[in-house]
Amino acid sequence: MKFCSDCGAPVEFRIPPGDALPRHVCDSCGTIHYQNPKLVVGALPEWGERILLCKRAIEPCYGKWTLPAGFMENNETTAQAAARETLEEACARIELGEMYTLIDVPHISQVHIVYRARLLDLDFRPGVESLEVALFDETEIPWDEIAFRTIALTLRHFFDDRRTRSWSFHRSSIGPPAKP
């Protein structure tokens, strides 16, 4: 950030009095521009034995598969965000279930949350951010083509829980990807 989004004056990056971390500070209007982690919220829509995945039409990870998910908007609940993203990316209507995974991703300052969900009908199609939307059973999951590690982890929990018929909420955190 170089300029104040409130008044347009140049900002300085420094530790404000009484604070512990450097912030973008506007000395013109006095605003301190805090930057905080972002929430990414999605759904894991089920249709019988199969689950719905979207093939991404945008970067990052263009062409890879993911659950419908995206950045939470202001003034909505996490549940609303999950349903909205599913409608936007897969044009699919769902009945939302329980919150299923919450994964901290501190190296990129994000928290990823996925809800379980039941697909209400088969009238889905790719939204503008998707190339393709399809249902997969466990044997068909393109594990090497999953866009994000948090999504792959959520899918692994799902199939493990389904196999053992012991559903629970999974909270974890992941670090930076290992260097190749």
Please give the residue ranges that form the binding site for Zn ion (CB under 5 A). Answer: 4, 6-7, 9, 26, 28-29, 31
Smallest distance from Zn ion to CB 90, Å: 41
H, E, C per residue of the chain: CCECCCCCCECEEECCCCCCCCEEECCCCCCEECCCCEEEEEEEEEECCEEEEEEECCCCCCCCEECCEEECCCCCCHHHHHHHHHHHHHCCCEEEEEEEEEEEEHHHCEEEEEEEEEECCCCCCCCCCEEEEEEECHHHCCHHHECCHHHHHHHHHHHHHHHHCCCCCEEEECCCCCCC
CB of 30 to Zn ion, least distance (A): 7
CB of residue 2 to Zn ion, shortest distance in Å: 12
Q: Which is nearer to Zn ion, 4 or 81 (CB)?
A: 4
